[in-house]
Amino acid sequence: MKDVAQLARLMQGNEAIVEGALAAGLRFFAGYPITPSTEISELLAERLPLYGGKFIQMEDEMASMAAIIGASLAGLKSLTATSGPGFSLKQENIGFASMAEVPCVVVNVQRHGPSTGMPTAPAQGDVMQARWGTHGDHAIIALCPASVQESYSLTVEAFNLSEKYRVPVILLTDEVIGHMRERVVLPQPGAMKVIDRKKPPTGLEKYYPYQPGEDGVPSVANFCENYRFHVTGLAHDESGFPTTNPEVVEKLINRLNDKIMEHVDDIVLSESWLTKDAEIIIVAYGAVSRSAKKTVKEARAAGLKVGLFRPITIWPFPEKEIAALSRQAHTIIVPEMNLGQLKLEVERVTSGRSKVIGVNKVNGELITPGEILDAIIKL
């Protein structure tokens, strides 16, 4: 085993996503390059064939989302990567993947918007779009890395959750983290747990692809493996064929939601730093959490009891954790590179127990530690 210093290297966030995806077993990528996610496409075009995988540059974002759904149904771990404008275009098919329970991972390296906005500038404006961008009630998982190292590990985690719960998982990163280069030490191959989707037993006389297991997740067979069955975006019964039977459909939509919401303890990741005695808590995610960490250091140096809570999983939202913090802190500060999207969730969960204050910036620049500190001083 080589010494850690020798394994350390300079890596970009987007590059770490590629390495994480390959470590998780990625075998199919379809995409349409867009700043600031392009490096993911570029690198996978080179790397994926070496693993026996397929890389396709599609005609647009809608088609790339459709292609990864098809590849995943055929049994391959599949990925696409995009940014705001492309994420909007993928929404319809993200809904299809939710409804048809197709495991897949969508990377959104957030840039300034709306529309084409500022292509090379960071933002966090797609937080609510990640949750509700596609129509209809559905559950989704979204993860927010705050470092290059975490861009790697959360990509592995995104694939694992997607395979386990048969749900599209959004890796919601941002331009700062995606383009940033920093020192990383990648785990040795095999050091991180890799989960593969469960398969149905063979030899069943009658196969119901959408019959859920005890965990609420069905064992949908890979296409061309033992069974012939139907997959649709229409409401369907356990056979996979469309139905309008209200009872069956009610059960289906509830199950799609429950299979995620009943497993929040397994899904939700977060990090608390100096929160134990904190009277003021900063809730920050992605690149902004790094500014917030510096704010906490500066505030502590000035004798203020400030701590940081960092949601790593933002969907499902870490409700229990934030609710507990609101019983302890008189104020919760939510800095975001948007006009206050996750703040709405913090307000909902804290039910008025703490004062919730947003620090918001939408000019394409990262919020500075000083800007968050100013909000604390003004209290």
Partner 1 sequence: MALTSEIMLSGTGGQGLILAGQILADAVIRDGKNTVQTQSYGPEARGGASKAEVIISDGEIDYPKVTQPDILLVMSGEALKKYAGSIDENGTLIIDDTYITDTLPIGTNVFAVPYTRIAKENLGKEMFANVVALGALAAITGIVTKESLQLALMSRIPPGSEALNKKALELGWKSADQAAA
Enumerate binding residues for partner 1 (CB under 8 A). Answer: 5, 8-10, 35, 118-121, 176, 179-183, 287, 290-291, 293-294, 297, 366, 368-369
We find the least distance from the C-beta atom of residue 296 to partner 1, in angstroms, to be: 9
We find the least distance from the C-beta atom of residue 115 to partner 1, in angstroms, to be: 14
Coil, strand or helix at 106: strand
Structure tokens at 221: 């067979």
Between CA 53 and CA 71 the distance in angstroms is 11
What is the number of other CB atoms lying within 10 angstroms of the CB of residue 215?
A: 13
What is the number of other CB atoms lying within 10 angstroms of the CB of residue 23?
A: 20
C-alpha dist (Å) from residue 82 to 43, 87, 148, 188: 14, 6, 18, 28
Please check whether residue 261 is in contact with residue 317, taking contact to mean a CB–CB distance below 8 angstroms.
Answer: no
Instruction: Name 311's bridge partners.
Output: 270
**184/268 with CB nearer partner 1:** 184
Coil, strand or helix at 163: helix
We find the least distance from the C-beta atom of residue 366 to partner 1, in angstroms, to be: 6
**81/284 with CB nearer partner 1:** 284
**149/350 with CB nearer partner 1:** 149
We find the least distance from the C-beta atom of residue 275 to partner 1, in angstroms, to be: 16
**27/293 with CB nearer partner 1:** 293
We find the least distance from the C-beta atom of residue 5 to partner 1, in angstroms, to be: 6
**161/177 with CB nearer partner 1:** 177
| E strand residue ranges, 197-276 | 270-273
We find the least distance from the C-beta atom of residue 377 to partner 1, in angstroms, to be: 18
Which amino acid appears at position 317 of this protein? F
**35/93 with CB nearer partner 1:** 35
CA torsion sign, 155 to 157 to 161 to 164? positive
